[in-house]
Amino acid sequence: MAGFEQQVKERAKELTIFFKKGVKIVGESCKKGWNKVKHMKR
Protein backbone atom coordinates (compact mmCIF):
# COMPACT_ATOMS: atom_id res chain seq x y z
CA MET A 1 0.00 0.00 0.00
CA ALA A 2 2.90 2.37 0.70
CA GLY A 3 3.93 2.25 -2.96
CA PHE A 4 0.40 3.12 -4.01
CA GLU A 5 0.27 6.07 -1.62
CA GLN A 6 3.60 7.32 -3.03
CA GLN A 7 2.17 7.14 -6.56
CA VAL A 8 -0.90 9.08 -5.48
CA LYS A 9 1.26 11.78 -3.89
CA GLU A 10 3.40 12.07 -7.02
CA ARG A 11 0.30 12.32 -9.21
CA ALA A 12 -1.18 14.94 -6.87
CA LYS A 13 1.98 17.05 -7.18
CA GLU A 14 1.84 16.83 -10.98
CA LEU A 15 -1.86 17.69 -10.98
CA THR A 16 -1.42 20.72 -8.71
CA ILE A 17 1.39 22.08 -10.91
CA PHE A 18 -0.62 21.41 -14.07
CA PHE A 19 -3.73 22.94 -12.47
CA LYS A 20 -1.86 26.11 -11.45
CA LYS A 21 -0.48 26.52 -14.98
CA GLY A 22 -3.95 25.96 -16.43
CA VAL A 23 -5.48 28.48 -14.05
CA LYS A 24 -2.91 31.09 -15.10
CA ILE A 25 -3.55 30.51 -18.80
CA VAL A 26 -7.33 30.40 -18.38
CA GLY A 27 -7.32 33.40 -16.06
CA GLU A 28 -5.38 35.56 -18.52
CA SER A 29 -7.61 34.61 -21.45
CA CYS A 30 -10.89 34.80 -19.51
CA LYS A 31 -10.50 38.07 -17.57
CA LYS A 32 -12.72 39.80 -20.12
CA GLY A 33 -15.26 36.99 -19.90
CA TRP A 34 -15.24 37.13 -16.09
CA ASN A 35 -15.92 40.88 -16.23
CA LYS A 36 -18.97 40.20 -18.42
CA VAL A 37 -20.20 37.52 -16.00
CA LYS A 38 -19.79 39.84 -13.01
CA HIS A 39 -21.81 42.55 -14.76
CA MET A 40 -24.53 40.06 -15.68
CA LYS A 41 -24.87 38.86 -12.06
CA ARG A 42 -25.45 42.44 -10.92
pTM above 0.85, yes or no: no
pLDDT given for residue 34 in this prediction: 73
Q: What is the enclosing helix (H) or strand (E) of 15?
A: helix 2-41
pLDDT given for residue 1 in this prediction: 66
pLDDT given for residue 33 in this prediction: 77
Counting Cα atoms < 13 Å in the Cβ hemisphere of 6 gives: 3
pLDDT in tens, 11-32: 999 999 998 988 888 878 777 7
pLDDT greater at residue 22 or residue 8? 8
